[in-house]
Amino acid sequence: MSRREQIRMADDEALAFLAGEKTVVCATNGVDGWPHLMPLWYVIRQTGEGGTPQLWAWTFAKSQKVRNLERNPRATLQVEAGEEYHLLRGAMLRCDVVLHRDVETVTALGLEIFGRYGGDRAGQPSGEVREMVRRQAPKRVGLQFAERSRATWDHRKLGGVY
């Protein structure tokens, strides 16, 4: 078995990894041909065909990444963890991106994101945060990342042997 095969995460491992991390780096294709990379907070929703998990994020509608996605609705996402080589793990997802502009959809997504990143024990954002999300939602879009392919790695599986 190749090292590549040894470090690959199974689907359930990849989902658990993505659910446990907090920041995804999103690469879109810039008009000048250069990749445009930006960090995003995200949630995982069971919204794909057959309930396939998908990453969702939100961002300002006038952002460069949205302009890039309007021109070319593809992105590469990367989530990674680990400080030392033998602890490195991550996932890279190539995705088609659907932009959602409906204010109700965007508001619900914003509340879900802020519930994940700072909500109470039940995952609910505070009243103040809820109001901020409602104010910002008309200026934002939801980003639905429909995965086309995936590469994963978990160097911990090598047991320190390279």
Question: What percentage of the chain reaches a pLDDT higher than 90?
Answer: 76
pLDDT score recorded for residue 123: 74
Largest CA-CA distance found in the chain, in angstroms, rounded: 53
pLDDT score recorded for residue 45: 93
Q: Which of 43, 1, 4 has the alpha carbon at shortest distance from 151?
A: 4
pLDDT score recorded for residue 111: 93
Q: Which of 140, 141, 136, 111 has the alpha carbon at shortest distance from 126?
A: 111
**Running DSSP on this structure, what letter comes out for residue 1?**
-
Q: Are 45 and 64 in contact (CB under 8 A)?
A: no
pLDDT score recorded for residue 158: 86
CA 136 vs CA 25, 94, 142: distances in Å: 22, 28, 12
DSSP string, 69-138: HHH--EEEEEEEE-SSGGG-EEEEEEEEEEEE--HHHHHHHHHHHHHHHH--TTS---HHHHHHHHHHGG
Percentages helix, strand, coil for the chain (3-state, rounded to 5) are: 40, 40, 25
Q: What is the mean pLDDT of residues 79-103?
A: 96
pLDDT score recorded for residue 162: 67
pLDDT score recorded for residue 81: 96
- Kindly report, residue by residue over 44-54, the tens digit of the pLDDT: 998 756 677 89
**Strand partners for 77:** 26, 93
3-158: CATH, from 2.30.30.140, 3.20.10.10, 2.30.110.10, 3.30.70.890:
2.30.110.10
- Kindly report, residue by residue over 9-49, the tens digit of the pLDDT: 999 999 999 999 999 999 999 999 999 999 999 999 987 56
- In sequence order, which residues have a C-beta less than 8 Å from that of residue 144 and are 6 or more positions away? 47, 54, 56, 97, 98, 99, 100
pLDDT score recorded for residue 48: 57
